[in-house]
C-alpha cells in the first residue's frame, strides 16, 4: 500500500466519503495498476477501505 493508492480516499474522508465510495476509489486505483487478478481486486479494495 502506497500513498497513491489511498490518497484520494484519505483526502475525501473529511468530506464524509462512504465505505462504498472509498472502496470504489481504491478499486479504481488497483485496476489501473493491473498487478492483481480481477477476482482479487474486490477483496483487496474492501480490506483497504476499512
* % the chain with pLDDT above 70: 100
pTM of the model: 0.79
CA pair distance 1, 15, nearest whole angstrom: 22
Say yes or no to pLDDT of 14 above 90. Answer: no
CA pair distance 5, 7, nearest whole angstrom: 6
Length of the chain: 50
Look at phi and psi of residue 18 and say left if phi exceeds 0, alpha if psi is from -120 to 50, else beta: beta
Reading the block at residue 44, the C-alpha cell is 483487496
Tracing cell 497513491 back to the chain, one arrives at 4
| Residues 22-49, mean pLDDT to the nearest whole number | 90
Amino acid at each position: 500500500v502506497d500513498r497513491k493508492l489511498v490518497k484520494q480516499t484519505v483526502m475525501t474522508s473529511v468530506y464524509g466519503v462512504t465505505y462504498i465510495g472509498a472502496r470504489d476509489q481504491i478499486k479504481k486505483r488497483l485496476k489501473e495498476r493491473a498487478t492483481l487478478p480481477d477476482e482479487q481486486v474486490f477483496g483487496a479494495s474492501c480490506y483497504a477501505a476499512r
